[in-house]
Chains A and B, each alone.
Chain A
Amino acid sequence: MLQEKVKGLYRNKPGIISFAVLAVIMLAGILAPVLAPNDPVLVTLDNRFAAPSTQFPFGTDHLGRCVLSRLMYGAIVSLGSALLVMTITITISIIIGTLSGYKGGWVDTLLMRMGDVNLAFPDLVLTLVIAGMLGPGLANIIIAMAAVQWVWYARIIRGMVLSLKERSYVLSAKVAGTPGWLIVVRHILPNIIPHVVVLVTINLGMVVLHISGLTFLGLGAQPPTPEWGAMLNDARQYLRSYPRLIMFPGTMIMLVVISFNLLGDALRDVIEFREG
């Protein structure tokens, strides 16, 4: 079953390519301390706006910092914080969503009402406002995003649990006297996880976009931390003379977002098509 799915994914070209792209970017970020040609935060004013060369393959920025090195280190900040947001979000929403769907009761009522309120805010407003109240900083953005997003996932997971709860194998496990937590762990979670993985992959692109957008506004990672959104913000003043400074981080963000979207689509085709 699992093997079949892996095979299916293997045959999905866009999925494989985007996975490879993401893996390369992630690896470049992780190995940046070894691979990066220069120190990403070292300011050398003599080298301001240097053109691409062997020493600086992508040139330097307005403070003479190596653009390629900043992009590589930035991969870890941008992608890593997106993954962190998702990990926190999913952990909370799996716990609350399962509890709410399986047990019902006040947790369920509370979750549904919170969802209604959450949906009443346009995208990004709540995140922006929470991040604004907490003050600028990458950690605060991660907290704000997780705090806003988990409700949405929890409600979806709750819906999945509600439909699984009525399946005959869950009912028979119940009749056999299996304790509730064991039913959840053994019968419900394994059926939910694949769908959650699809959701998470598709939405990771959006999380990357939001994080870089907030950082671009100056709310996320603070200078001199290399982050793609922050690099774009630094480069905006030099748009006329040095448009390449805009091109590099922008292309990276777009590449990552497109890859996550394609990978998510591929996973959905493989996982949900076979089950549906």
Chain B
Amino acid sequence: MGRFVARRIISLVPVLLGISLLTFVLIHLVPVDPAEVYLRLSQIPPTDEAVAVIRAEMGLNKPLHQQYFDWLWKVVHLDFGKSFVTKKPVMAELLYYFPATLNLAAASLLIVLLISIPVGVFSALYKDTAFDQICRILAFIGASMPSFWLSFVLIYILSLELNLLPAFGRGTLAHLVLPATTLALGAAAVYTRLLRTSMLENLNQNFVLYARARGLKEKLIVVRHVLKNALIPVVIAFGMTLGHMLAGSVIVENVFAWPGVGRYIVSSIFNRDYPVIQAYALFMAVVFVLLNLFADIICATLDPRIRLGGDK
């Protein structure tokens, strides 16, 4: 197990370097001079001298590779520079907004589990029945529905018409319901199908036949033998989904005025707050890579084939 984890971590090094290179290059996509944007946002007229001073301050006049290493050195020390707008360190700002986003994503993930495990299991056990067909259609619609539209429909029905839940902001648990559900439904559709397929595969395995031959109760077979194995691909996909939810929350946060990273990044894009955009990309990628690492480790603990197969 130790070797599996160690090798998995070592394999991350080139990926992390690649991520850093890509995010570094991003700032050079900006069609204007960042120094000029900085001055304008600070209400300073961008004269040639002023631009030259800021360029020197930002290190923009150094050779590119030098800029990269300087930047990387700072990033390793968690220094992502300062926001053009608030003049506060970007890292502190991201960490300020991140808990709200994490909160939202975690709640969505819980909803995904609550929907997809029972529905996935039952559609596999009652394959091709009316229940399975209806779930299939709902899953198909769920996966095709734009989250921003779904959120309006939910707001309209549950909040404006029935007045059951608050539509905007963050605070109580009730505030969490609508945005978390919106974020969850698309993923729940995917997971239900994934779990159904995986359950069906495992139901046809010899160990199930053997368990039946031993006269075990069907319920026990399903829970202990089939579901446990069927959940492995779901767990693998989980790390990824949580990452996608952290990122996918951009739209949902903007609809529900949820004060998370997603809303922060969109307002930063409109403010042309380039250091924030850059830091966001790096931050999200690193979180995503780490989540996948954890998912892999969990799967290796669940399934000896993964860790032993990997050691060969």
Contacts and interface: CB of A to CB of B under 8 A. Distances in A.
Interface of A: 113-114, 116-117, 120-126, 128-136, 205, 209, 212-213, 216-219, 229, 232, 236, 239-240, 243, 246, 249-250, 253-254, 257-258, 261
Nearest to A144: B29
Interface in B73-100: none
Contacts of B10: none
Given A117-B19, A129-B281, A239-B152, A261 B146 contact: no
B244 A122 contact: yes
**Contact-residue size bin, chain B (C-beta under 8 Å from the other chain):** 35 or more
B98 to A, nearest CB: 14
A112 B239 CA distance: 22
Interface centre among A116, A128, A131, A249 (most CB of B within 10 A): A128
B1 interface: no
A134 B31 contact: yes
B146 A117 contact: no
B144 A125 contact: no
Interface string B137-162: 00011011111110011011000100
Given A125-B281, A125-B285, A133-B274, A120 B146 contact: no
A258 to B, nearest CB: 4
A55 B286 CA distance: 54
Contacts of A120: 15, 18-19, 285, 288-289
With most chain B CB atoms within 10 A of its CB, the pick from A122, A229, A240, A258 is A122
A29 to B, nearest CB: 18
B18 A122 contact: no
Interface of B: 14-15, 18-19, 21-22, 26-27, 29-31, 140-141, 143-149, 152-153, 155-156, 160, 240, 243-244, 246-248, 250-251, 254-255, 265-266, 268-270, 272, 274, 277-278, 280-281, 284-285, 288-289
A38 B117 CA distance: 50
A-B interface, 5 closest residue pairs, ranked by CB to CB distance from nearest: A117-B18, A250-B149, A132-B269, A122-B247, A257-B144
Contacts of B22: 117, 126
Given A122-B247, A250-B152, 16 more contacts: A116-B15, A120-B18, A120-B288, A121-B288, A123-B248, A125-B285, A128-B265, A131-B269, A217-B250, A217-B251, A218-B270, A236-B255, A239-B152, A254-B149, A261-B140, A261-B144
A52 to B, nearest CB: 19
A246 B148 CA distance: 10
A117 B15 contact: yes
Contact of A253 (B143, B146, B270, B288): B146
Contacts of A216: 146, 148, 251
A116 B285 CA distance: 12
A57 to B, nearest CB: 21
Output the residue of A113, A129, A243, A257 with the most chain B CB within 10 A: A129
B116 to A, nearest CB: 19
Contact of A243 (B146, B148, B156, B244): B156
B121 to A, nearest CB: 24
Contact of A122 (B144, B246, B265): B246
Given A122-B284, A213-B251, A254 B144 contact: yes
Contacts of A243: 156
A121 B141 contact: no
Contacts of B244: 122-124
23 contacts: A116-B15, A120-B15, A121-B288, A122-B247, A122-B285, A122-B288, A123-B247, A126-B281, A128-B250, A129-B278, A133-B29, A133-B274, A136-B270, A209-B146, A216-B251, A217-B250, A217-B251, A229-B146, A239-B160, A240-B156, A249-B149, A254-B144, A254-B149
Contacts of A258: 140-141, 144
A209 B26 CA distance: 24
Contact of A129 (B251, B254, B272, B280): B280
